[in-house]
Structure 1
Amino acid sequence: MPSDAHALASELRRTVIMAARRIRAERGSADLSDPQYSVLVHLEKRGPLTPGQLADLERIQPPSMTRTVNCLAEAGLVAKDAHPTDGRVVVVSLTDAGRTEVTETRRKRSAWLEAQLEAMTPDERRRLDEATELLRRIAEA
């Protein structure tokens, strides 16, 4: 186990990235890319948004978001409607199929992680529980 902050930071960074990648590998039936799934999650949490708002949330350029939204619309996961006060703007909302995809992806990710935790000893789970609070503090800093 690394004893200095530099070595620990390096090891922790690699480990957190590997864990996040493994969790993200669990997907719903639509087999969406991470950015596509992220758009569905934003819409589920925040309600209908414009492509510009979604681009800002994802920190990407609007043309890239337009392509993502179009792919999701073609898959039936989002709906595009005219803005109620500005006909030049599109409002993107989650369809029932999109909501199902978010729910299914979350379920699969949680099930995979739960299986990993169940394979641990009670002491390992306790230690991980303690580490979770520390990781949350780092993430919220």
Structure 2
Amino acid sequence: MTSIARELAALTGPLRRGILRATRSRGSLPNLPDAQVEVLRVLTHKGPLSPSDIAEALRVAKSTVSNLLKSLQSAGLVERGITASDGRVTLISASPKAMQLLSTYDSVSEAVLDESLARLSAAERAKIGAALPLLARLSDDLAEQN
């Protein structure tokens, strides 16, 4: 492993967890497991989907999605419906409560990051900004590997 790969691997988990902890604390947000948040993100970006489509989008087993949906439904974060063309096909959508929760999370996490970035010099912020497109490419590459 190269030193860049080692440092990036060591940094990304704590960075993500730090953002999450600070955001949850500041926004008084619930402690949803990452897997549940991923389901909600897929539903808000792609619209109503069947459980099979959610599993495919997340590249997880259908049984995993089924368990996640049970928890999300009991928390009022997803709603079930059926397709107009085939009443046997269940469609899952993010509830208004889930959409509000994600919106709050996004705005609070942006504020948390803005405050931390403000403590850096302008040159340091510029370096982070310049690295963002490369991090996005890296993320896309990793997604394609699965």
Same structural fold, with TM-score higher than 0.5 when normalized by the shorter chain: yes
SS of the residue 1:91 aligns to: strand
Separation in 2, partners of 1:62, 1:140? 23
SS of the residue 1:108 aligns to: helix
Determine whether 1:19 maps to 2:26: no
Separation in 1, partners of 2:139, 2:95? 31
| Unaligned runs of at least 5 residues, structure 2 | 142-146
Separation in 2, partners of 1:39, 1:138? 22
1:126 to partner: Cα distance: 1.6
Q: Deviations along 1:83-135, whole A, 9 cap, x unmatched? A: 32333331101111111011011112111111110111112112222222332
Q: Is the 8 A contact 1:43 1:93 kept in 2?
A: yes
Looking at secondary structure, tell me which structure has more helix per residue: 2
1:78 to partner: Cα distance: 1.0
Q: Is the 8 A contact 1:24 1:34 kept in 2?
A: no
- Say which one has the larger Rg: 1
Root-mean-square deviation (Å): 1.8
Aligned pairs (5 A) from 1:40-79: 40-79=40-79
| Unaligned runs of at least 5 residues, structure 1 | none
1:33 to partner: Cα distance: 0.9
1:69 to partner: Cα distance: 0.9
Aligned to 2:34: 34
Aligned to 1:117: 117
